[in-house]
Amino acid sequence: MRLMILLMVGLAAPALASPGERTRDDPRGLIPGAQPNTAGACVPGAAPLTLAEAVSVALCRHPRTAAAWAAAQAAAAQSGTARGALLPQVDAQIGPTLNRSQSFRGTGFVDGNGQFIGGGASTTTNTTTAVQLGLSWLILDGGARAGRIAAADANAEALSAQFVDETQAVVLEVVQAWNLLVANRAIEAANLANLEFARLSRDLAAGRASVGVATGADRLQGETQAAQAELTLTQTRGNVATAAARLAVAMGLPPATALALAPLPPLERPVVGGGADALIAEAERLRPDLRAQRAQVRVAEANERVARSAGRPSLALQATNGLSALDTSIDRNLSSVGLAVSIPLFSGWNTRYSIAQARAQRAQQAAVLEQVRQAAGLAVYQQYVSLENAVASLVPARALVASADESAALAQGRYRAGVGTFVELLNAQSALATARQQLVQAEFNVRTAQAELARAVGDMDGFQEDGFRGDER
């Protein structure tokens, strides 16, 4: 028994000496602790919220990141379970176990009811097993344990990459919701300016009609345009409330949470270095879904090694030691130790089919990796083109607003002077309202395309409030 204890302590010592922070539930120090990206505030402060602060709150509160982090921790724990097969398994059984034996001397027979008939004597022996200690250690297994450990480690790496992927998805969701709220508030401001212009035109038409220099139709058209502008403003304010609720939920907050946003920096032309080809190469290196799928390929390769090990011999050490009592007197110490060699001879070809299945699954995961890689390249290229188009639309959109504003002011002046028609004024007013909407949409498209390009590359860390900098950030 002392030899067995010394053997167990000696085998466990290397594992206990392994580096890493260890706890009672994680003796090997394999399970990651607190979720990263949660060092910031988990609730918005009283000051106007910046985009970076909104992202920080979301990463701290969003259930998607919490669920992905828990899955990564579970996968890391599975790696510890797989390593447990390298060490001996020790079990202790504590009695009592009562064994009763009875013997007869003399002659006699047993009748049909099971009763002994005849003379003789009987002896009853009570044997109690007090403590039994057993050790089982698989020494050689043809590489099965190493394969399971490799599969568990690769799966843990895959789930860790999936956590990063979920984190980037949450960041993109917050950025999109933020941009949508900013755009709707900009549209609200534009529609408010349109309403003021429409009311001024209405009052101007009413005043000219009152002195007989304009028709009643001008006054009615002015009232119609003012009412239409007021209705549009009301609808826009509903869109603002909906967008604010979307941003709050993206941050993990109740939808009715009131959010004050800090102003964004002026929108400048994005700096994305290297072009589409360089960004696709960056995506090959950075995208977490690609890293996760590469890890899944390694899981399949390890599982194939495990399947092959089932057809190889294995060697195990088994030992037991037990104390027993005979008629309440401790007088036995039974020990056994031995080596057991298991040689697979025939399993109904199960091993061959298992190997074929594992090989096919490895090929499947390799094909999925290529599919993910191609999809990633296409996503980067599409987002790059989308950003280029969005940026190209900024210049004409800004020029359109400037010319429409000047044209509307001129039309209003002409109508006031009596040299222009009210139809010209209405047309200029409508063109100005449309131009303002298009400029807001153009700026929204640029900001959103920047975030979506960063997500496609897998580098949301490179996305700042003033845009995605790529490899020149």
DSSP H or E segment with residue 323: strand 314-326
pLDDT at 10 over 80: no
d(CA 447, CA 426): 32
Nearest to 457 by CA among 399, 381, 387, 366: 381
**Residues recorded for the chain:** 473
CA angle 45, 47, 51 (to 5 degrees): 80
Q: Which two tokens stand for residue 259?
A: 């959010």
**Confidence (pLDDT) at 347:** 85
pLDDT tens digits, one per residue of 405-464: 999 999 989 888 888 888 898 899 889 999 999 999 999 999 899 999 999 999 887 665
pLDDT band with cut points at 50, 70 and 90 for residue 7: very low
**Confidence (pLDDT) at 300:** 96
Domain for residue 91, yes or no? yes
Q: Map residue 107 onto helix, strand or coil.
A: coil
Domain for residue 22, yes or no? no
Most confident of 80-94, 357-371, 431-445: 357-371
Domain for residue 15, yes or no? no
List CB contacts of 112: < 8 A, sequence separation 6 or more: none
- 467, with CB counted inside 10 A (0-12, 13-18, 19+), is buried
**Confidence (pLDDT) at 132:** 81
φ, ψ (nearest 5 deg) of residue 311: -95, 10
What's the structural domain count of the chain? 1
d(CA 375, CA 372): 5
57, 43 Cβ separation under 8 angstroms: yes
Mean pLDDT, residues 52-79: 91
pLDDT at 466 over 80: no
pLDDT band with cut points at 50, 70 and 90 for residue 386: very high
Nearest to 148 by CA among 68, 73, 84: 84
The percentage of residues in the chain with a pLDDT greater than 70, rounded to a whole number, is 82
Domain for residue 262, yes or no? yes
Domain for residue 17, yes or no? no
Domain for residue 108, yes or no? no
Query: Can you give the residue range of the structural domain that contains 375?
Result: 2-7+36-99+124-472
- 20, with CB counted inside 10 A (0-12, 13-18, 19+), is exposed
Please state whether beta strands 121-140 and 89-105 pair in parallel, antiparallel, or not at all (unpaired): antiparallel
Q: Which two tokens stand for residue 346?
A: 């025939």
pTM as predicted: 0.79
Nearest to 214 by CA among 428, 421, 430, 424: 421
362, 297 Cβ separation under 8 angstroms: yes
d(CA 59, CA 36): 9
pLDDT band with cut points at 50, 70 and 90 for residue 467: low
List CB contacts of 15: < 8 A, sequence separation 6 or more: 27, 28, 83, 86, 87
194, 159 Cβ separation under 8 angstroms: no
pLDDT tens digits, one per residue of 159-182: 999 999 999 999 999 999 999 999
Query: Which amino acid appears at position 399 of this protein?
Result: A
Other CB atoms closer than 10 Å to residue 91's CB: what's the count? 10
Domain for residue 14, yes or no? no
Give the mean pLDDT of the chain. Answer: 83
More confident residue, 279 or 324: 279
59, 38 Cβ separation under 8 angstroms: yes
The three-state DSSP-derived secondary structure of 196-230 is HHHHHHHHHHHHHHHCCCCCHHHHHHHHHHHHHHH
- 339, with CB counted inside 10 A (0-12, 13-18, 19+), is exposed
List CB contacts of 53: < 8 A, sequence separation 6 or more: 40, 41, 44, 45
Strands (E), 44-201: 89-105, 109-110, 116-117, 121-140
Nearest to 36 by CA among 158, 130, 155, 164: 164
Domain for residue 113, yes or no? no
For residue 169, give the CATH number of its domain.
Answer: 1.20.1600.10
